[in-house]
């Protein structure tokens, strides 16, 4: 079966405070980078998956996000899938 | 000055163990998704930056990554920059 690589971003929902991002935004000022604002920090996950087709891989990755990788009460996710070489 | 949005991925170096990713790979088996392998988990950071040009924004984001966002002994980073609407 072909192998696919998924790149997933899991980010805190826009409506929620992101204390880690807020702290980093503040640190940017102290580092001499005051033009950087509105930092938000989430997770990036890469994984390999064997599947019959890209659509099948996409369905499995969506399932993995919902079941394990993303807490949908506090986070949103998006992902892209590429065929591995 | 125009505003840009940077999307940054900070990932553990390929040569290093990623215990969090290993744990998640194991959990995938228990969740009925054994076709998922080689999970690696890093950070995804989004930020806004004011700069005169895309190149200037890129230089500032690179500086922020090197100074604060990425520990280059253990992590690698890549980013993309888009003009904000």
Tens of pLDDT, residues A19-47: 999 999 999 999 999 999 999 999 999 99
Q: What is the mean pLDDT of residues B28-48?
A: 96
Do the interacting molecules here have an ipTM over 0.90? yes
Q: What is the mean pLDDT of residues B42-60?
A: 97
For residue B22, give its domain range. Answer: 3-83
Dmax (CA) for chain A in angstroms is 51
Give how many domains chain B has, as a whole number. Answer: 1
Q: Residue A85: what pLDDT?
A: 77
Q: Residue A58 above 80 pLDDT? A: yes
Q: What is the mean pLDDT of residues B36-44?
A: 97
To the nearest whole percent, how much of chain B has pLDDT over 90?
98
A64 touches chain B (CB under 8 A): yes
A-B C-beta contacts closer than 8 Å: 102
Q: Residue A71 above 80 pLDDT? A: yes
Return residues 10-39 of B near A (CB < 8 Å).
10-11, 21, 24-25, 27-28, 31, 33, 35-39
Could you tell me the pLDDT band of residue B63, with boundaries at 50, 70 and 90? very high
Distance from CA of A17 to the nearest CA of B (A): 14
Q: Residue B85: what pLDDT?
A: 77
Q: What is the mean pLDDT of residues B26-47?
A: 96
The CATH number covering residue B30 comes to 3.30.1280.10
> What's the predicted TM-score (pTM) here?
0.93
Q: Residue A3: what pLDDT?
A: 96
B82 touches chain A (CB under 8 A): no
Distance from CA of A6 to the nearest CA of B (A): 9
Selecting from B27, B47, B60 the residue whose C-beta is nearest the C-beta of A68 gives: B27
- Listed residue (B8, B65, B14) closest to B40, CA to CA: B14
Selecting from B21, B33, B51 the residue whose C-beta is nearest the C-beta of A63 gives: B33
């Amino acid at each position: 079966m072909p192998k696919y690589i998924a790149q997933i971003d899991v980010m805190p929902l826009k409506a929620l405070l992101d204390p880690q991002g807020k702290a980093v935004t503040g640190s940017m000022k102290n580092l001499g980078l005051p033009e950087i604002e509105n930092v938000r920090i989430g997770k990036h996950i890469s994984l390999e998956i064997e599947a019959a087709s890209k659509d099948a891989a996409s369905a499995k990755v969506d399932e993995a996000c919902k079941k394990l990788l993303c807490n949908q009460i506090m986070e949103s996710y998006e992902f892209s899938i590429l065929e591995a070489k």
